[in-house]
Copies of this chain bind each other. A is one copy, B any other.
């Protein structure tokens, strides 16, 4: 292995005296069954083209807290796993569209974030290495010709305006056979991408203009139940409890009473679970915009009163999310402690994360794993690390300026000769739980496609 032991895995420091559950051991013992189960699931419901899943590891619980169908941090992955991404991209396209050759990649429209641009450039490079021609097209209305951007990595992006001809989208001198979205459509579904004869993946219906976290976690709850039955474990070990409030206006205060009482009900349920497992920590919940993204519109709450006494700045923060989208519904999700932290200063080879300097001062920092998947394959991930944030905090909040630390291992190689907490197996556990969230997303996609085809009275051409 190119990386020595302990070099890039935070320690699990459960500050609680609750027993660390036997979850990871169970995963290892039953790995063959788990993988067979996943294989059957992907036959029934094909996986999305790609996804990233944010996890939180409390030791007694390992759960997803967010699933992104337009992953935006490919630049944070370990470059050693590029071949794995390339192979998975080949598998994904072969499954979805065996004849595909030319791919149009549609990135986010707010293209000034240099980290995001690096991610897009890398994704384009990976698709090219997989053996496809791939160009970038943007639905931005202010784009009238090619726009070239030079990136810090030395890579270059050329963004071109989309052209529409009958039922086909193209850019100048390039008509793709498939459109790959890396744009979460928070700003709405671009008309130029509607009703195409080319497949759009993921389908437009999966952008945040249609999607809701409540839908996703409702599917996830089912998945966790089925998985719990398979492994004979309490699904709660992998499933964050949640409730939702559909009608809320933080500006006027409408619906806040509903929110406060739901917060209290959810805290009661969490407290009961903590009691069952002897967890001594204080329960908390996270209130998030139901259609939100990018860590915007997120509150950490410890009781219903917190909601009733929101100050002006918190209220403002909760009124709108990305691209000014108004928040009208929220999901109230069980807060999952993150008990992973670097006990020692992490040591890395420089190649892993740019400069070694940026890694200083991380002793004691909390870490939130983010797992990347292409098709049904786990292809790596990274830790969001933030030295100044607490174990209850959201590490993806605006201004949180987390530092990404690439996973040292790929997450698809459980090692039965190691203990359940040794790192190949820690990464395997991440990969299993992340794939549960991927399966929930797959069901979401299937449902959205069914819904669209019923609405339009035709079979949607877009595929998963």
Q: Which residues of A are interface residues toward B (Cβ below 8 A)?
A: 1-3, 31-32, 34-36, 38-39, 43, 79-84, 86-88, 90-91, 94, 98, 101, 128-133, 154, 349, 351, 377, 409-417
Q: Is the CB of B83 within 8 A of A128?
A: no
Which B residues are in CB contact (< 8 Å) with A31? 128, 131
> In the complex, A3→B133 CA distance in Å?
28
Minimal beta-carbon separation of A231 from chain B (angstroms): 14
Q: Is the CB of B32 within 8 A of A412?
A: no
Which of B79, B83, B413 sits near A86, CB closer than 8 Å?
A: B413
Copies of the chain in the assembly: 2
> In the complex, A33→B320 CA distance in Å?
46
Which B residues are in CB contact (< 8 Å) with A88? 87
Given contact pairs A32-B133, A90-B377, A129-B414, a sample of 7 additional A-B residue pairs in the complex whose CB atoms are under 8 Å apart: A2-B3, A2-B349, A32-B131, A39-B131, A83-B84, A129-B413, A129-B415
Which of B32, B79, B84, B98 sits near A1, CB closer than 8 Å?
A: B79
Minimal beta-carbon separation of A235 from chain B (angstroms): 21
A-B residue pairs in contact (CB < 8 Å), sample of 20:
A2-B2, A2-B3, A2-B80, A2-B349, A31-B131, A32-B133, A35-B130, A36-B101, A39-B94, A39-B131, A80-B80, A82-B413, A83-B84, A83-B413, A86-B412, A86-B413, A87-B88, A87-B91, A87-B412, A154-B417
Closest to A4 in B: B351
Q: Is the CB of B349 within 8 A of A32?
A: no
Which B residues are in CB contact (< 8 Å) with A415? 129
Which B residues are in CB contact (< 8 Å) with A414? 129
Minimal beta-carbon separation of A339 from chain B (angstroms): 27
> In the complex, A417→B125 CA distance in Å?
10
Closest to A374 in B: B87
Which B residues are in CB contact (< 8 Å) with A80? 1-2, 80
Minimal beta-carbon separation of A233 from chain B (angstroms): 19
Minimal beta-carbon separation of A350 from chain B (angstroms): 11
Closest to A90 in B: B377
Minimal beta-carbon separation of A351 from chain B (angstroms): 6
Which B residues are in CB contact (< 8 Å) with A82? 413
Q: Is the CB of A34 within 8 A of B131?
A: yes
Which of B79, B84, B101 sits near A87, CB closer than 8 Å?
A: B84
Q: Say whether, besides A1-B351, A36-B101, A83 and B410 are in contact (CB < 8 Å).
A: yes
Q: Is the CB of A132 within 8 A of B98?
A: no
Which B residues are in CB contact (< 8 Å) with A94? 39
Q: Taking each of A43, A83, A411, which has the highest tally of chain B beta carbons within 10 Å of its own beta carbon?
A: A83
Which B residues are in CB contact (< 8 Å) with A132? 32, 35
Closest to A83 in B: B410
Which B residues are in CB contact (< 8 Å) with A86? 412-413
Q: Is the CB of A412 within 8 A of B129?
A: yes
> In the complex, A82→B91 CA distance in Å?
17
> In the complex, A382→B312 CA distance in Å?
64
Q: Is the CB of B377 within 8 A of A32?
A: no
Q: Say whether, besides A80-B1, A349-B2, A32 and B128 are in contact (CB < 8 Å).
A: yes
> In the complex, A338→B43 CA distance in Å?
46
> In the complex, A106→B51 CA distance in Å?
38
Closest to A38 in B: B131
**Which 10 pairs from chain A and chain B are nearest by CB?**
A35-B131, A2-B2, A83-B410, A2-B80, A32-B133, A36-B101, A129-B413, A86-B412, A83-B412, A83-B84
Which B residues are in CB contact (< 8 Å) with A43? 98
> In the complex, A415→B129 CA distance in Å?
7
Q: Taking each of A36, A86, A413, which has the highest tally of chain B beta carbons within 10 Å of its own beta carbon?
A: A413
Closest to A377 in B: B87
> In the complex, A417→B156 CA distance in Å?
11
Which B residues are in CB contact (< 8 Å) with A38? 131
> In the complex, A94→B41 CA distance in Å?
12
Which B residues are in CB contact (< 8 Å) with A416? 128
Q: Taking each of A31, A87, A98, A349, which has the highest tally of chain B beta carbons within 10 Å of its own beta carbon?
A: A87
